[in-house]
Amino acid sequence: MSSVAYSETSLDLQPLPQPDREFYYSRVKTREAVLKSVRKLNYDTLEIVVKCRDDGSPPICGQAGQYATLRTPEITTPRSFSFARAPEFENPNEHTFLVRLVHGGRFSGWLFEQDRTGSPMTITGPLGSFTLDSSNKPMLCVAGGSGISVIRALLEHAANEKVARDCLFLYGGRQQRDLYYDEEFKAIKAAWNPNHRFEFVQVLSEDEGTSNWAHRGLVTDYLKKAYIDTGRIDVRKMKAYLCGPPPMVNAAVTMLEKAGTSGGDIKFDKFEDSTSPAPVIDNTKCVLCDECLYVKPVDKCIVDVASLRSATPNTTPSYTQIQPGQTPGLYYSSLYIDAKECIRCFSCVEACPVGAISVGYDRNVQSIRQSVG
Ligand SMILES: Cc1cc2nc3c(=O)[nH]c(=O)nc-3n(C[C@H](O)[C@H](O)[C@H](O)COP(=O)(O)OP(=O)(O)OC[C@H]3O[C@@H](n4cnc5c(N)ncnc54)[C@H](O)[C@@H]3O)c2cc1C
Ligand code: SF4
Ligand code: SF4
């Protein structure tokens, strides 16, 4: 009898490849929630805690430095707000944010009008990539206004991780009445890696001449004068995290680049609003990977269009959105950002792997591939 040589099957228990849990859980999710609490930090800033409803849905798993969008039944266009605490310090399913009152602003105005505790909200996140990097370069953080929220979350996380890095955090306000979170940053300093320095400096640009405040001027000017020009820090060897109003962030980027910080060592998060320009998609670069469509927080901010028409250059074009299985005719599908719907969250810009989305692209519809009707 001939014997057949069967190949042997290994009985070793080898685990199968698993999805990257961090990546999987970090996918953008939308949850129904309630405004659990509101704390007044000063005359123009509230700290709010949003609690997701306990309906068994997967949690929103953000990282320190990311943000989410919030909307209410009254304000259905979402607004972006950064997580103000590192997730490891939040109660399960809760998210803390700072909201600064914006003159004429609908969402912030609604929150300040009366105590909105208990109001239903819808939260979508996590969004953004302004997270702690794994380098060991000293950290330079600069924030203005409610940009302090993101830096608090980042530094809480860094302190908890006992990162082996020095950290200088300069916060820019106008007057002493703008300042808050003293106790929170004392707690971060106390928890910081004891082998490294942690310095928190509040810089005031409009403090009265009669006060004896030690750090005065625009925060970016003060950074240059008191730290860079004097050689107290070497920004060429540091990693910068900038957060807050666009003019402050722009000024800080320009100053740091001039002082020799490499572009790759500057991370920033600009708190844009509806008055900022919307990004544009260059369809000649787009590889139709759909990443921007996964992260967009608004239903129709990015639309798949069959045709796009503009009566004159630089006027808002009208478009025909592709309805799969229904749109007739021959077309090349092209993605288009509708500036009227876009909330300037810039999630799509960060998500695009080929740099096809930018505020710098030509707004003239002719730049969109094969789509001029
Ligand atoms: C990534 C990111 C993170 C952010 N994080 C925070 C945060 O942590 N905390 C925070 O406070 N903010 C944050 N913001 C800003 C926030 O999303 C809102 O833009 C801000 O709160 C204003 O919203 P609002 O509804 O009050 O104002 P809006 O109603 O959106 O109005 C904003 C401004 O535009 C003006 N305006 C509105 N409509 C018009 C119009 N048709 N024509 C001319 N002007 C108009 C208003 O007068 C106002 O000055 C962040 C923004 C981004 C992009
Ligand atoms: S188009 Fe981009 S920037 Fe605008 S809301 Fe959508 S994802 Fe955000
Ligand atoms: S993420 Fe970029 S490449 Fe992908 S579909 Fe959107 S625009 Fe195109």
pLDDT at 19 over 50: no
pLDDT of residue 72: 97
The closest residue, in CA terms, to atom 2 on ligand 3 is 352
Is residue 219 a part of any domain in this protein?
yes
Reduced to 3 states, what is the DSSP secondary structure of residue 305? strand
- CATH number of the domain to which 322 belongs: 3.30.70
For residues 199 and 297, state if they share a domain: no
- Phi-psi bin for 370: left (phi > 0), alpha (psi -120 to 50), beta? left
> What are the φ/ψ torsions at residue 219 (nearest 5 degrees)?
-60, -35
pLDDT of residue 297: 80
Could you identify the atom of ligand 3 that is nearest to the CA of residue 335? Answer: 7
- CATH number of the domain to which 76 belongs: 2.40.30.10
pLDDT at 279 over 60: yes
pLDDT band at 197 (very low <50, low <70, confident <90, very high): very high
> What are the φ/ψ torsions at residue 278 (nearest 5 degrees)?
-80, 150
The whole-chain average pLDDT of the chain stands at: 87
Cα–ligand 3 centroid distance for 34 (angstroms) = 33
Could you identify the atom of ligand 3 that is nearest to the CA of residue 351? Answer: 1
The closest residue, in CA terms, to atom 45 on ligand 1 is 275
Distances (CA, A) of 345 to 28, 74, 125, 208: 13, 20, 11, 36
Could you tell me which residue, 329 or 372, shows the higher pLDDT? 329
pLDDT band at 237 (very low <50, low <70, confident <90, very high): very high
Distance between CA atoms of residues 265 and 257, nearest Å: 10
Q: How many CB atoms lie within 10 A of CB 177?
A: 12
Could you tell me which residue, 26 or 148, shows the higher pLDDT? 148
The closest residue, in CA terms, to atom 1 on ligand 3 is 352
For residue 69, give the ligand nearest its CA.
1
* Last residue of one domain, picked from the residues 93, 127, 161: 127
pLDDT of residue 174: 93
For residues 191 and 300, state if they share a domain: no
22-31, 303-312, 361-370: which has the highest mean pLDDT?
303-312
The domain of 322 spans 280-367
Could you identify the atom of ligand 1 that is nearest to the CA of residue 75? Answer: 25
Question: Over the stretch 105-145, which tens digit does the pLDDT of each residue have?
Answer: 999 999 999 999 999 999 998 888 889 998 999 999 999 99
* Last residue of one domain, picked from the residues 211, 240, 270: 270
Q: Which helix (H) or strand (E) holds 249?
A: helix 246-258
Cα–ligand 3 centroid distance for 350 (angstroms) = 10
For residue 270, give the ligand nearest its CA.
1
Tell me what the mean pLDDT of segment 47-61 comes to. 92
pLDDT band at 295 (very low <50, low <70, confident <90, very high): confident
pLDDT of residue 224: 96
Tell me what the mean pLDDT of segment 93-105 comes to. 95
Cα–ligand 1 centroid distance for 12 (angstroms) = 57
Q: Which helix (H) or strand (E) holds 151?
A: helix 148-160
DSSP-derived secondary structure letter, 83: B
- CATH number of the domain to which 189 belongs: 3.40.50.80
pLDDT at 256 over 50: yes
* Last residue of one domain, picked from the residues 100, 127, 154: 127
| Alpha helices (H) along 67-125 | 106-113
**CB crowding 10-31: b at 16 or more within 10 Å, else e:** eeeeeeeeeeeeeeeebebbbb
The closest residue, in CA terms, to atom 4 on ligand 3 is 289
Q: What is the residue-wise DSSP string for 156-190?
A: HHHHHTT-S--EEEEEEESSGGG---HHHHHHHHH
pLDDT of residue 70: 95
pLDDT of residue 310: 67
pLDDT band at 147 (very low <50, low <70, confident <90, very high): very high
Pocket residue to mutate for ligand 3, from 334, 335, 347, 358, most atoms within 8 A of Cβ: 335
pLDDT at 287 over 70: yes
For residues 247 and 323, state if they share a domain: no
User: Is ligand 3 within 6 A of the CB of residue 295?
Assistant: no
- This prediction has a pTM of 0.84
